[in-house]
Structure 1
Amino acid sequence: MAKHELETGTVHETDTLTLEDQGCNLIVWNDEVNTFEWVIETLVEVCGHTHEQAEQCSLFIHFKGKYGVKQGSYDELKPMCDAITERGIGATVEELA
């Protein structure tokens, strides 16, 4: 939290979001091996998506070749990426442009 002093002399705390906090995207890649249900189940269990969110993501992955399923810090996303790849699904963590 950053503190900012106003002209009145009072101090207010505000949240400061840096690039490092939300600067990455968890990308899941399409393949010809994994089923929609497996990808959906993985996104629900690993990323905390609802079934509907995971279903939509899986459609984007299928039709676009890849999709950013979650944004956050590298430290937050790296364990999720590892868990996804351990299930045989291609995933990477990339910096947001």
Structure 2
Amino acid sequence: MDFGYKEEELVEVLDDVADIKDLMVFNDDVNTFDHVIDTLVRVCNHSVEQAEQCAYIIHFKGKCSVKRGLLKTLKPMQEAICDEGIDARVI
């Protein structure tokens, strides 16, 4: 059966799916809830409610995946969050 896709296109799509990462933000005793929330809204384009939920998860669980995506998309976000003094890593 021919779906009209070329093998090269399928390989590119599969490579992208296999390259999905998480942008994790970790808890600390330094940053305020408001600072973390404001940063997530600005950097990750979260709604205020979404950023608040992430901040509570970070506080109570020690970490939270705040965004999923490709490394090339998440790396600049991770750097911007770290520039604000918040511990973030792409995993």
TM exceeding 0.5? yes
Identify unmatched segments of 5+ residues in structure 2. none
Higher helix share: 2
Structure 2 letter corresponding to 1:92: R
TM-score computed with the length of structure 2 as normaliser: 0.85
What is the identity percentage for the equivalent residue pairs of Structure 1 and Structure 2? 49
Q: CA separation in 2, counterparts of 1:90 and 1:84?
A: 7
Higher strand share: 1
1:71 and 2:68 are equivalent in the alignment: yes
1:53 pairs, out of 41, 44, 50, with 50
1:51-88, Cα deviation, whole Å (9 max, x unpaired)? 00000000000000011000001110000000000000
Q: CA separation in 1, counterparts of 2:27 and 2:61?
A: 8
Q: C-alpha root-mean-square deviation of aligned residues, in Å?
A: 2.0
Structure 2 letter corresponding to 1:89: I
Aligned length: 85
Q: CA separation in 2, counterparts of 1:39 and 1:76?
A: 20
Q: CA separation in 2, counterparts of 1:75 and 1:32?
A: 29
Q: CA separation in 2, counterparts of 1:73 and 1:12?
A: 22
Identify unmatched segments of 5+ residues in structure 1. none
Q: CA deviation at 1:12?
A: 6.5
The secondary structure found in structure 1 opposite 2:30 is coil
Higher RCO (CA < 8 A, seq sep 6+): 2
The secondary structure found in structure 2 opposite 1:56 is helix
